[in-house]
Structure 1
């Protein structure tokens, strides 16, 4: 048996699977989140540990004594800082924390602008990446900054708790922006600028291992607490998008994964590093080799959920609203930037609803406009990722994938076949698959990510949506109107 753990923004999930990827147990526990008007989004890492305990205990109940290996997926970009005693110094700043936007811009200018960042390091930092959080700490909380002895991402901190080892792998590391995505090495000069050349931050970085390596064996006290075999090993793990890619079989060129979660992402495996000096397409490393060009928008199901609550509806009403209304919501356009935005890079943007008239201002239209606004922003990202190519099929994951009407909207608007994995928790499945690959490699049996995903990743045949050509023109017009409004906002 193999255990996949996914520490997300809203909670931690756990999935127990057999060697063929069939689910044997699930678990889930929610997290709190600290939100401030300044744009701060933070969590106490101890909350992740508490949630892991609960989720894992539920998932492994059917076969705890048969677990061979664990893989951990974690929300990208979060900053966990530890002191010399490996104690957490302060709450972790998360991927959707936007109060470091000024520090991000300062870093971009310090190293010659976006194009120079891309030329030198292969990536352009965006607000939310880890690097600006370190500069923010130095400037805003120097009493905490001086105590930093270990810099970890969320999944790395969970690996540390499980094994006592401090390690990183290229996929999640590439989202820090102090990691060169071309050479796959830490970039010391960026950290030296932040700490004034003392070497404090570079010395605090974790040891790099391969994405198919094992971090170590589970600590005896953790094994006893979780009721796992003391022989259980932990794989390198990775960021949630990297594990989601593995969990949807996105480990070879030609596949597209679209995630509709709290944030939305779209990505496609590539054998070559992306060449986008604007930074809109993140040139992240894949956790299965190669690269994972990715676009992230920060406003997705959180916007739709807030809209549903505002108008006194439930999530079950989304499909009804989409079925009752026409593409374009009668002329309503919703720019859904309730939490700033990452793509396009507008961390201080705010949302807007425009085009209101006496005939279109209805609850169903309002809800459709919210769904369309989220979708159109993500489809702009899809165009960037594919660089002119057209997707024939797209796998959709995340909470939004449960809506049959939203899946149909995606099929109609893209002209692609929309499918859903049979295992809903693709991040957990990807982490479990990585655990299979890493543990087999440790034992001298060279399984590949491609062979294991071919065996373990399946499509839910009952949830596939085919395009309806008659709606494409309406969606093209509505998306054009959305992009016109977006350009007006960007110019202002």
Structure 2
């Protein structure tokens, strides 16, 4: 075994692309790079992106990561790509992109989603048929919307790809998809791991959409090697294997070592996600739990809240506070913020299921209306949404001995304590906060190992490459748990009135 085995992990998100270089022998991340993207926002909740920006960002982030790692790109053995889920990328028969990619956070297709949900027989029908309840962010309604709004573009569709599938296509020239990211399309059955082609025929009886579907491959399978011209552009080895990749949540699971039952990953980003590994597709009767497939060969029951650091950010801006000062004020206020309760549903909300809700601040009096209490209330309010989601996962039989935190919010010690107390569970951060990019690199190493006759299992790779930051470990404090429980019950009473 060589003294180094270098893999590149790429995470193409909404705000930008991150790249990192992993040495799978030592388990160390040697260097990282990043590049930003812009959002195309329009009326009715349109949220799109120009895919050319992704390609520029991948190139820039990769070159920056190689330079920071001080390694030769010709030594890269494999690449894994993580992408924002649910986005729709349409290509013509020449492989050219037909229009900007419609993203996960786009709500312009809400009415199309409502019609499709009715066609499936409501939430119950959708769960029975697909194993998930389709939501406006999913890919399916974007296809119906394209047919109705852009019939000329629709008639030229030759490939339907998710963002990470598109990057794999650009890298290798092959059109493939893996089960994890495919789970969020709305035309994939998570139990049987097959496309639901009839659903696409219902939208377009000519069979055009069915013919445009990518081939499904296993999580450990390679898509192919990098096209020589692209390898040259990136400055890497053209023989590098491109792994199946996956959605950002699926890759975040691998990057936090969440590949066997018992671990729970919680991501504190603009939105919040909580997910756990399961080895069978035990679909929850609750529509809020999405039983996606994992990108490691199992399943990944997941809940997503729409309001997290985007909500705390609004309060910070309102009071013109930097992160440090904001955290100080949160720590100053007592648990329960002296009765101030914020329902931070500024973007509508998925968990609890209140898509049309707006935010509100309740319980104000002459004495408790302070900056500290409002700062505390927004952090508690977003955390209560995560608690609500974790309870749904626990009702579905998932065990949670400890929670692994990732995302920007996890860097706040006071927020970690609030989470530990509210969830009555120890929490700990992973050393590498770019968990999705790390997971993509680990998956690439796994894929290479499979090709070489199983040198390393995924579990061995995760054990070597995923390090916990012991200094961040935060345990629940008994008296805080009791006070947090009271505040949480008050939050539930307020939610019930909506």
TM over 0.5: yes
Equivalent residue in structure 1 for 2:380, among 372, 382, 387: 372
Residue 22 of structure 1 aligns with which residue? Answer: 28
Equivalent residue in structure 1 for 2:370, among 340, 362, 365: 362
**How many angstroms apart in 1 are the aligned matches of 2:48 and 2:133?**
23
**How many angstroms apart in 2 are the aligned matches of 1:51 and 1:108?**
36
- On the 8 A contact 2:331/2:376 being kept in 1, the answer is no
Structure 2: segments with no counterpart, 5+ residues: 1-5
Q: CA deviation at 1:159?
A: 0.9
**How many angstroms apart in 1 are the aligned matches of 2:105 and 2:27?**
31
Residue 301 of structure 1 aligns with which residue? Answer: 309
Equivalent residue in structure 2 for 1:53, among 37, 52, 59: 59
Residue aligned with 1:464, SS: strand
2:252 is the counterpart of 1:247: no
Residue 487 of structure 2 aligns with which residue? Answer: 478
Q: What do the CA deviations read for 1:368-394 (whole angstroms, capped 9, x no partner)?
A: 111111111111111111226663310
- On the 8 A contact 1:127/1:342 being kept in 2, the answer is no
Residue 228 of structure 2 aligns with which residue? Answer: 220
Residue 34 of structure 1 aligns with which residue? Answer: 40
2:212 is the counterpart of 1:204: yes
- On the 8 A contact 2:269/2:407 being kept in 1, the answer is yes
**Structure 2 length normalisation: TM-score?**
0.95
Residue aligned with 1:84, SS: coil
Residue 192 of structure 1 aligns with which residue? Answer: 201
CA RMSD of aligned residues (A): 1.5
Q: What do the CA deviations read for 1:112-152 (whole angstroms, capped 9, x no partner)?
A: 12212222222211221111111122223323322222111
Equivalent residue in structure 2 for 1:104, among 93, 99, 113: 113
- On the 8 A contact 1:419/1:460 being kept in 2, the answer is yes
Q: What do the CA deviations read for 1:40-77 (whole angstroms, capped 9, x no partner)?
A: 22111111111111111111121123211010001111
Residue aligned with 1:296, SS: strand
- On the 8 A contact 2:263/2:401 being kept in 1, the answer is no
Residue aligned with 2:38, SS: coil
**How many angstroms apart in 2 are the aligned matches of 1:41 and 1:329?**
35
2:49 is the counterpart of 1:43: yes
Give 1:108-187 correspondences, 5 Å limit: 108-187=117-196
* Structure 1 pair 410–152 and aligned structure 2 pair: CA distance change class (3 A): same
2:418 is the counterpart of 1:409: yes
Give 1:444-463 correspondences, 5 Å limit: 444-463=453-472
* Structure 1 pair 256–76 and aligned structure 2 pair: CA distance change class (3 A): same
Give 1:210-289 correspondences, 5 Å limit: 210-289=218-297
Q: CA deviation at 1:347?
A: 3.0
Residue 3 of structure 2 aligns with which residue? Answer: none
**How many angstroms apart in 1 are the aligned matches of 2:368 and 2:329?**
13
Q: CA deviation at 1:274?
A: 2.7
Select between 51-60 and 476-485 the one with higher mean Cα deviation: 476-485
- On the 8 A contact 2:218/2:297 being kept in 1, the answer is no
* Structure 1 pair 311–451 and aligned structure 2 pair: CA distance change class (3 A): same
Q: What do the CA deviations read for 1:245-267 (whole angstroms, capped 9, x no partner)?
A: 00111000011100001111101
2:89 is the counterpart of 1:80: yes
* Structure 1 pair 129–240 and aligned structure 2 pair: CA distance change class (3 A): same
Equivalent residue in structure 2 for 1:383, among 391, 395, 414: 391
Q: What do the CA deviations read for 1:10-67 (whole angstroms, capped 9, x no partner)?
A: 1111111101320100111111112235122211111111111111111112112321
Residue aligned with 2:44, SS: coil
Residue 9 of structure 2 aligns with which residue? Answer: 4
Residue 300 of structure 2 aligns with which residue? Answer: 292
Residue 69 of structure 1 aligns with which residue? Answer: 78
Q: What do the CA deviations read for 1:194-217 (whole angstroms, capped 9, x no partner)?
A: 11x111111111111111011111
Q: CA deviation at 1:446?
A: 4.9
